[in-house]
Structure 1
Amino acid sequence: MQHCVRDTRAFLALAVALASTPSLAGGFFEDSHANLALKNYYLDRDYKDGGAKSAAREWAQGFNLFVESGFTEGPVGFGLDARGLLGLKLDSAPDRSGTELLPVSKSDKVAADDYSRLAMTAKMKISQTTVKSGDNLIFLPFAFASPSRLLPQTFRGTTLSSKEIDGLTVNAGYLDRINKRDSTSYERMAIASPNGRFRGAETSPHMLYAGADYQLNKSLGFRAYHAELKDLYQQDTLAALYEQGIGDGTFSADLRSFFSREDGQARAGRVDNVNASAMFSYRLGGHRLGIGYMHSSGDSATPYVSGTELMGMSELTMSSDFLNAKEHTWQAIYDYDFVALGVPGLKSRLRYVRGDNIELASLNADDRKEREFQMELGYVIQSGPMKNVGFLARKSIYRNDFPTGAAFRDENQTRFIVTYTLPIW
């Protein structure tokens, strides 16, 4: 870890020095840009299982200032990015805190009035290969930085992305810390452990990963990755996406699989899981209908990094992750884009997800079930002084037959989100 910090500081110093050299700095400044993303977020969990806590309900405002430089001129280009994040509490109380919009004191459950962080990323580019060191956003199958709260979640480390071959994107990286979406500091990575699936308190010093996305042609793409969270688990990812026009519409098939096992000292406990899913969709005009199935097998649940989301079939569900041991999951999605009726910017979604055959070993339960019905309506203003202001309303109704003490509780959940990105230069 100390080597990673020293290398990042040296990289930052080199980038700043080169950017200050007039003969090299042209692209550094000319290609730079900045924007300020605003997010106003209300989240309400209304629990329906008769537990001691009846609700988690908070309202907050987020600010995300992102400044991105270009690259210095020459065969090797250097650049520097900066991200400033601020979250403000608008409404909360100790008896209903804990939505993960805001940091919460463990002792009295009081949410912070505000929280902020400043992060820097140095970068270097050779041809079509870019190396970044410092604060990184990761959107890969095994570590998908969750976009579902107020501020973005980031990782500290060094990443490489290369597009030297047409259609092929190679990604690799070393990550040693995570900054969670409701936190102000970096911490060691851990394995997500809802329902006591693993030893969630155990942490890893770093993650290593490598893999690639390959677009064979306009219709067919593949992806393959290997990731190791040292002394916790390893995970291999294989996926394929196919899209083809059929009749007046478009058919798509999305196939994903994750093969997981423990790594090194296996501090998180036994990891033995294969998660495979298939999603088939058809789009016609403004309509899109999708049907999917996900199958989990092996001795454990599907592992993923605590605080992130796994890019499986259940990503972006609201009330549960549907990744329990031996879980079999069906889902149906209906999307409608109102541009077909002459209302661009207005979109809706209905989604039903049902999981059964669930094993909850830590709760001495098996053959359990869960289900979630999700509704969404979003609109982005297309013109006028409020152009690009986005509104999103999300609602879920979630129920299960899990024992008392389970992480996922019966609830009706509501989210209202207003977003706007202001270009600065």
Structure 2
Amino acid sequence: MKALINCPWLFSLGSMGMLLAGVSQAALVSDSTVTLTSRNFYLDRDYKGETPYAAAREWAQGFILRAQSGYTEGAVGFGLDLTAMVGLKLDSSPDRTGTQLIEFNPVTRKTRDEYSELGTTLKAKVSKTRLLLGTQFPSLPVITASPARLLPQSFRGVYLLSEDVPNATLHAGRMDKVNQRDSTDYQPLYIASPNGRFTPGASSTQFDLLGGDYRWSPSVTLRYFHAELSNIYQQDFAGLLHALPLGPGKLKTDIRVFNSREDGRAEAGRVDNVSAGAMLTYQIGPHSYGVGYMRQMGDTAMVYLAGGEPVVLSDGTMSADFVNPDERTWALRYDYDFAAVGIPGLSGMLRYLHGSHINLPRLGGSHLSESSKDLELSYVVQSGPVKGLSLRVRQNFYRNDLTAAATFRSDNETRVNIDYTWKLW
């Protein structure tokens, strides 16, 4: 991984070379696409108990334009992708900012009326191997561009994706900057440190990743990834996905294990964590019943990049991450597809998580606990002039017995999303 080409040099001369060599031809390729996504997002986080802020409550409108070219003809094909994003404030106030929907001044806490950004990705393709250079939206266990707010998080770097090996998908890359969900500029990479887990302020401009998925059989997929944030942490991920026909339904198994430790000068402090979790889901007709367990082992919490969420059992939880030191988490989940009762496009989800044995002496003790109750309804219009319009309503009730100084505080949270995508080309 250390031998990957230096990113800043690539972004200058190398990028221009690819652009001039191929983009004029790529624009003529028939499989180019242009889409425009409208996202209306309301987030209301009502804090309970002793808290410095009573609420974080904002409403915003976003637009995401994605233009993806095809590839030029020949042994090596070239192309160009563009992503333009705009966020517009609909409602906010200095006393209830902090939803990460809208960029705001940390001193005055006044939000901007609008913010925008443009991302470019130069690409080259040989057979089933693609090289992407520029703006990246990775979705991997060790690095994920979080889509959980108005505009998605993005990274800057070089990324290699190959499907030339039979039954395998291989990934390699180096990222040097991140553009957060409520930001307009690229910044160095740093780790999330809620509840004061790690030394604040430590950052790096070198994140390397290597790994892949291997389809052992039609029902079994094995996963492994290695990641390094230079002089901060290293992380290995191993996973297993398995689907087994069982009686009238299907049993799905999802196992995820992360092993994290400090790297080099350990500028964010000690990192020593193994996070192991498993989720078993039995699907029968429109019903899905899930039960899972996750445990944090080692001297510290799990480490992950700031601005997003860890890809663990609690992935998708709105108010906390459930990866504190020594934490043990149980999860129960139920999903239902209302197509079974004549309402196609409507689905619902109920989930309960309970974490115990949290070891945070500065925030209340060594046997602390937290819990989350999540409810979700989503509907996608199935036909007519607005086919594909989606509405999602989520309600979360989060409680813990940590002190008021904790990053994650007891709250009731509501999120409403209305999304629609036009295919322009």
Alignment of 1:172 with 2:172, yes or no, is: yes
| In structure 2, distance between residues paired with 1:376 and 1:44 | 15
1:380-391 alignment, distance < 5 Å: 380-391=380-391
Opposite residue 45 of structure 2, the aligned amino acid is R
Q: Distance in 1 between matches of 2:102 and 2:321?
A: 21
Q: What one-letter code is carried by the residue in structure 2 that aligns with 1:149?
A: R
Query: Take 2:326 and 2:265, find their aligned partners in 1: how far apart are those partners?
Result: 24
TM-aligned CA deviation for residue 50 of structure 1: 3.0
What CA distance in whole angstroms lies between the structure 1 residues aligned with 2:53 and 2:219? 49
1:341 corresponds in structure 2 to 341
1:244-393, aligned counterparts within 5 Å? 244-363=244-363, 365-393=365-393
How does the TM-score come out when normalised to structure 1? 0.97
Structure 1 equivalent of residue 71 of structure 2? 71
For the pair 1:4 / 2:3, whether they are aligned, the reply is no
Query: Are the aligned partners of 1:11 and 1:122 in contact in 2 as well (CA < 8 Å)?
Result: no
2:21 equivalent to 1:18 = yes
Distance 1:278 1:28 in 2: 47
CA contact (8 A) 1:145 1:309 kept: no
Q: TM-score, normalised by structure 2?
A: 0.97
Deviations 1:62-115 (A, max 9, x none): 110010011111001111111101000000000011100011101110111000
- Matched residue type, 2:228: E
- Mapped partners of 1:261, 1:8: distance in 2: 30
8 Å Cα contact 1:354/1:371 also seen in 2: yes
C-alpha offsets along residues 265-297 of structure 1, whole Å, 9 cap, x if unaligned?
001001000000010010011000000000100
Aligned match of 2:241:
241
Once residues 424 and 256 of structure 1 are traced to their aligned partners in structure 2, the CA distance between those partners, rounded to angstroms, is: 39
- Asked whether the 8 Å contact 2:167–2:216 carries over to 1, the reply is yes
CA contact (8 A) 1:80 1:123 kept: yes
Which letter does structure 1 place at the counterpart of 2:19? Answer: V
Q: Secondary structure at the match of 2:241?
A: strand
- The residue type equivalent to 1:338 in the other structure is F
Deviations 1:178-222 (A, max 9, x none): 101010000001110000000131101210110010111111001
Residue 126 of structure 1 corresponds to 126
Amino acid at match of 1:186: Y
**Match of 1:61, as an amino acid?**
Q
2:188 match: 188
Cα offset for 1:327? 0.2
Q: 2:301 is matched by which residue type in structure 1?
A: A
The 1:76–1:181 alpha-carbon spacing in structure 2 relative to 1, beyond 3 Å, is same
**Does structure 1 retain, via aligned residues, the 8 Å contact 2:257–2:276?**
yes
- 2:39–2:419 contact (8 Å) kept in structure 1: yes
Identity level (%): 45
| Residue 3 (structure 1) shift | 4.4
Q: Is the 8 A contact 1:89 1:114 kept in 2?
A: yes
Deviation at 1:20, TM superposition (A): 5.8
The offset of 1:5, in angstroms, is 2.8
Deviation at 1:311, TM superposition (A): 1.1
Identify if the C-alpha distance between structure 1 residues 294 and 128 changes in structure 2 by more than 3 Å, giving closer, same or farther.
same
**How big is the alpha-carbon RMSD for the aligned residues of Structure 1 and Structure 2?**
1.4
Q: How many aligned residue pairs are there?
A: 422
Displacement of 1:395 after TM fit? 0.2
- The alignment partner of 1:314 has SS state of coil
Instruction: Give the direction of change, closer, same or farther, for the CA distance of 1:33–1:11 in structure 2 (3 Å limit).
Output: farther
- Tell me, yes or no, if structure 1 residue 53 matches structure 2 residue 56: no
Amino acid at match of 1:123: K
1:118 offset after TM fit, Å?
0.7
- In structure 1, runs of 5+ residues without a counterpart are none
